[in-house]
Chain A
């Protein structure tokens, strides 16, 4: 079979699986928001509305219908691109998400970039020093990175670089499209805070993968060829260590898409994380549902990209054999 057809088949199967995933997520999200305490009709109508008014709103919103009917009508709307309107300000949920998503995506991508840039050298260093002081120290440092709470680290960064040294602003956000220099200056501290924290876990994977590959026969063969240690690391050990590292990096990306709440809060960045938290407190479930579905889509997209990346990293992995 030619490559093009294989790729199409794979993509189709992948799409089917994605739809299924999203359906399951939507059911969970829907059930979850139903189970939360608080009455959306009350929120819509206002705190001092009469009971009749609340009932009227409930009817208008369709909240008096049986749950399966509510779910089906919700899914029908979502499929046609209608995520509903926010209970708080009446704006379409999709607009809210579109407004908040770029900040979160930028933060996540830049943080991961920083994390990988720290993790790969640190992991190699730790592996090379395995059994020696330098290795123990690097491992201890990554362990520290894992155990220090991210928000505390963020606050420390603000204290040192924004308050004391005044190199950066302590918080705020300017969209990338408006002024990229201002955007990056404001992003620097949150990106470093998140990236450093994230690098710890990746570094530990790099270390164990490098240690593992270093004992491979083909590394001995490379030594027997008379290659330098540097070249062996660059051409043989690192490329073969990348699969587990890409896997964990992909997972981190997925985790971050919903988990940047703390960073966004500490640095005052208007992202998806904060939107979710604010909406939960405001009982604005329609928005919460929209955000969670969006996050699910992104996670699936990231996973697909990771799978495609595998086929680039290792010629033995093909779309044909990859399954779904």
Chain B
């Protein structure tokens, strides 16, 4: 191939600067045009990434973190563009190169891993072809056999077993975690100098997240690339990043080594994020959320964008009038706050321990609940989504139901409120067996059991005002009538801390957190005694999540409600729940009080789950011994015999396949655990290569 050909085809690699930054961003401004108004997605950004290091960028939705990396990749949507600034990759100004040169750089010098692995792969092209195409886009002189060989190499590097065989499969034959590995394999196909990962594990379960972070680390080490990791999860950056950039409303508010920023933040926003975060490693009485909402990006004040929510500002004139620049503070840190020196250090306010309420009488009892669905994929047989779940719920208590996707936790919730007809078992509510009750008794009882869904966007009728949403159940059930309705609507809105003056607004006029408050108020309108909350804060940003969690906590104490809190987030469950049921593949594997479960987990699956959750403390994150489970849960259409976890368990023996372990206390373990080996206290973790591995970070 001639020189000219190679330029036209793959293009030369950019010259490596001597130890200089791989990427340098200067004064970057990215704007969107929406409805004629200019929306600033990123403003005045300065940062750089050096070879081999990982820069974490954290921020909530709308902070501009994704727009920033889209600008670096040259992949901004049509309505957005870089309005000012400079992006230089290995000395080359990306904003001034030709589209063709940009194409030569993309996938070759700079590559990207996207958020959602379920949609990042072309469904009608084999995995091998998709990886191959990433290779041949820049390396044209490779033979077909060599491309295939290289694709298999890449797959095995990111931890996909039997890669040769898997090359000929299609994306739908891969699980989410496996797909994300494929996306990572494509990104490192040409040994990029810069690897950008945009929320690479947000869509994944926690044990799978641990696997994918492992793959990302392997990819980084194999290529020596500089890495930018974008995430909203402070735990993930604590584990992965060297340096951290915190963004708020399109601006960088804090920057520094990850350990220092997380241990001793120098910006009130970072401090607020950490205080509002439920954590796995400790339990506080109340989260301290950042008040208010993020600002409207179309009307960001010329002053500090955070001052209206800031605990430190106290309405000082300087915060309202002058935009703080990112500056080096007296302690040598970088913060965009006029009063950075005043930000309180960690533990400035001691946390009072959380007090458990006194549990009342049993209000809800679930006995041997079974739910089977017809197997739609094969058209034959059944999927057993829930297989013999039992628990009791007392007034005033919160029972957490945790597990990964497909474990059946949502099905349990839906069966309790009778959105789904159970295939077997009993649901006894205030002494009435709902599975045997007639229609009338069921209707009367159903009012006392209410469900709040995960997605507050989808669960509210967009054509009804909040007043109509709240008044409807009141009228239908004749709970209050006539003039009393308006008063009750006001009362409900007060209860969830919504401004009653906004009763005539439509759902789209509220933010996500406010909409979730409307959903809770609607459930409360029925005067229930049990609220089933199905992932109620999963769609919300960290600062808003804390507000809603505190609201739920307060409402429970005020009304004496019992909650069934369904969640995949072990940190949130740790904060809110009194007792926790851990589910795996349709069964409860462990059921224990909060402190007991988090401090002395007895089931291997619980141990693996807890060890996989990233903690926003770099020292802890790197010191912990980790259990990284292999593979993904088996299909509920064809569950393993005996203990369902045995196929991924490092303790499994023949007995586990033959006998189903009962959910009972074992010896020194006082709470119910479904494991044959639970009696000797917490089983020691013994790594074996083929089942699980222990990663020491």
Of the residues A220, A222, A314, contact of B123 by C-beta under 8 Å: A314
Chain B 93-114 interface mask (CB, 8 Å, partner A; 1/0): 0000000000111111001101
Chain B residues lying within 8 Å of A231, measured Cβ to Cβ, are 133, 137
Taking a contact as CB atoms under 8 Å apart, the answer to whether B377 and A321 are in contact is: yes
B108: A residues at CB distance < 8 A: 226
Cβ-defined contact, A221 with B183, below 8 A: yes
Q: Say whether A298 faces chain B, with CB atoms less than 8 Å apart.
A: no
Residues B104 and A218 in contact, CB atoms below 8 Å apart: no
Chain A hits for B75, CB < 8 A: 220, 223-224
**Residue B581 CB within 8 A of the other chain:** no
CB distance from B485 to the nearest CB of A (A): 44
Give the distance to chain A from B51, nearest Cβ to Cβ, in Å.
21
Is A315 at the interface (CB under 8 A from chain B)?
Answer: yes
Pair B120/A217 contact, Cβ less than 8 Å: yes
Residue from the list A218, A235, A320 in contact with B121, Cβ < 8 A: A218
In the bound complex, how far is the Cα of B138 from the Cα of A313, in angstroms? 28
Q: How far is the CA of A217 from the CA of B172 in the complex (A)?
A: 15
Nearest-CB residue, chain A, relative to B10: A226
Q: How far is the CA of A218 from the CA of B75 in the complex (A)?
A: 13
Residues of B within 8 A of A236 (CB): 122, 125
| Residue interface mask A296-324, B partner, CB < 8 A = 1 | 00000000000000000111100011010
Please classify the interface of chain B as helix (H, G, I), strand (E, B), loop, or mixed, using the class held by over half of its residues.
loop
**Complexed CA–CA distance, A222 and B106 (Å):** 10
Residue interface bits B75-106, CB-to-A below 8 A is 1, else 0: 10000000000000000000000000001111
Pair A217/B114 contact, Cβ less than 8 Å:
yes
Contact B121 A221 (CB under 8 A): yes
- B373 to chain A minimum Cβ distance, whole angstroms, is 15
Q: Is the CB of B73 within 8 A of A224?
A: yes
With beta carbons under 8 angstroms apart, the residue of B105, B107, B122, B379 that contacts A321 is: B379
Q: What are the residues of chain A within 8 A of B438 when measuring CB–CB?
A: none
Q: Which residues of A contact B104 (CB under 8 A)?
A: 226
Considering residues A235, A314, A315, which has the most beta carbons from chain B within 10 angstroms of its beta carbon?
A315
The listed residue (A216, A228, A235) touching B119 by CB distance below 8 A is: A216
* B116 nearest in chain A by CB position: A217
B 170-206 to A, binary, CB cutoff 8 A, 1 in contact else 0: 1010000000000100110000000000000000000
Q: At the interface, yes or no: B317 with Cβ under 8 Å from chain A?
A: no
A227 to B122, CA, bound (A): 14
Given contacts A226-B137, A321-B379, contact A315 B105 (CB under 8 A): no
Chain B residue, CB-CB nearest to A223: B75
- Closest residue of B by beta carbon distance from A242: B124
Q: How far is the CB of A244 from chain B (nearest CB, A)?
A: 14
On chain A, the residues within 8 Å of B124 by CB distance are 239-240, 313-315
Are the CB atoms of B119 and A223 closer together than 8 Å? no
**Pairwise interchain contact B106-A220, C-beta atoms closer than 8 A:** no
Interface centre among A217, A228, A323 (most CB of B within 10 A): A217
Q: Tell me which residues across on chain A come within 8 A of B134, comparing CB atoms.
A: 225
- CB of B225, distance to nearest CB on chain A (Å): 14
**Is the CB–CB distance between A224 and B379 below 8 Å?**
no
B 119-144 to A, binary, CB cutoff 8 A, 1 in contact else 0: 11111110000000110011000000
Interface pair B186/A221, CB less than 8 Å apart: yes
Given A320-B378, A323-B379, A225-B186 contact (CB < 8 Å): yes
Q: Roughly how many angstroms separate A224 CA and B72 CA in the complex, as a whole number?
A: 11
Type the 1/0 row for B377-389, where 1 means its CB is closer than 8 Å to any CB of A: 1110000000000
Write out, one digit per residue, whether chain B residues 582-623 have a CB within 8 A of any chain A CB (1) or not (0). 000000000000000000000000000000000000000000
**A: number of interface residues (CB 8 Å):** 24
Contacting residues, chain A, for B133 (C-beta < 8 A): 222, 225, 227, 231, 235
Task: Give the docked Cα–Cα distance between A296 and B145 (Å).
Answer: 49
Instruction: From known contacts A236-B122, A239-B125, A314-B124, infer whether A220 and B114 are also in contact, taking CB-CB under 8 Å.
Output: yes
Chain A residues with CB under 8 Å of B123's CB are 218, 240, 314-316
Closest to B378 in A: A320
- Where chain A touches its partner, the secondary structure class is helix
| Residue among B73, B111, B137 with max Cβ neighbours from chain A (10 Å) | B137
Residue of B nearest to A221 (CB): B120
CB of B121 within 8 A of CB of A225, answer no
| Contacting residues, chain B, for A224 (C-beta < 8 A) | 73, 75, 106-107, 111-112, 114, 187
Q: B378 to A321, Cβ gap below 8 A?
A: yes
CA of A224 to CA of B130, assembled, Å: 12
| CB pair A226 B120 closer than 8 Å | no
Q: Of B137, B170, B379, which contacts A316 at CB under 8 A?
A: B170
Closest CB-CB distance, A314 to chain B, in whole Å? Answer: 6
Establish whether residues A235 and B125, one from each chain, have CB atoms under 8 Å apart when the complex forms: yes
When chains A and B are docked, how far (Å) is the Cα of A316 from the Cα of B107?
28
Q: Which of A217, A218, A225, A235 contacts B107 (CB 8 A)?
A: A225
Residue in A221, A224, A236, A313 with the greatest tally of chain B CB atoms within 10 Å: A224
Residues on B with beta carbons closer than 8 Å to the beta carbon of A220 = 75, 114
In angstroms, how far is the closest chain B Cβ from the Cβ of A232?
10
Query: Which residues of chain B are within 8 angstroms of A314 by Cβ–Cβ distance?
Result: 123-124
Given A217-B119, A218-B120, verify A226-B106 contact (CB < 8 Å): yes
| A236 CA / B121 CA spacing, docked (Å) | 10
Across the two chains, which residue of chain A brings its CB closest to B108? A226
Which chain A positions have C-beta within 8 A of B106? 223-226
Q: Are A226 and B103 in contact (CB under 8 A)?
A: yes
- Minimum CB–CB distance from B220 to chain A (whole Å) comes to 17
- Residues in A neighbouring B103, C-beta threshold 8 A: 226-228
**Do the beta carbons of B172 and A316 come within 8 Å of each other?**
yes
Residues of B within 8 A of A320 (CB): 378-379
* B170 partner residues in chain A, CB cutoff 8 A: 315-316
Q: How far is the CA of A217 from the CA of B70 in the complex (A)?
A: 13
Bound state CA distance, A314 and B122, in angstroms? 10
Q: In the assembly, what is the distance between CA of A225 and CA of B182, in Å?
A: 13
Residue from B75, B105, B106, B122 whose CB has the most chain A CB atoms within 10 Å: B122
Contact with B along A201-240 (1 / 0, CB 8 A): 0000000000000001110111111111001000110011
* C-alpha gap A227/B121 in the complex (Å): 15
Nearest residue, chain B, Cβ from A228: B103
Which of B73, B122, B379 is close to A240, meaning CB atoms less than 8 Å apart?
A: B122
Give the residues in chain A near B111, CB-CB below 8 Å: 224-225
Which of chain A's residues has its CB closest to B131's CB? A225
Of B124, B125, B379, most A-chain CB atoms within 10 Å = B124
In residues 229-265 of chain A, which contact B (Cβ within 8 Å)? Answer: 231, 235-236, 239-240
Binding site for B on A (CB under 8 A): 216-218, 220-228, 231, 235-236, 239-240, 313-316, 320-321, 323
Known A224-B106, A226-B105, A227-B133; 13 more pairs at CB < 8 Å = A216-B119, A217-B114, A217-B119, A217-B120, A218-B120, A218-B121, A220-B114, A224-B111, A226-B108, A231-B137, A235-B122, A235-B125, A321-B378
A-B contact pairs, 27 of them (CB 8 A): A218-B120, A218-B122, A221-B112, A221-B114, A221-B186, A224-B73, A224-B75, A224-B107, A224-B111, A224-B187, A225-B106, A225-B134, A226-B103, A226-B104, A226-B106, A226-B108, A227-B103, A231-B133, A231-B137, A235-B125, A236-B122, A236-B125, A313-B124, A314-B124, A315-B170, A320-B379, A323-B379
4 closest pairs, A vs B, by CB? A226-B107, A226-B106, A217-B119, A225-B107
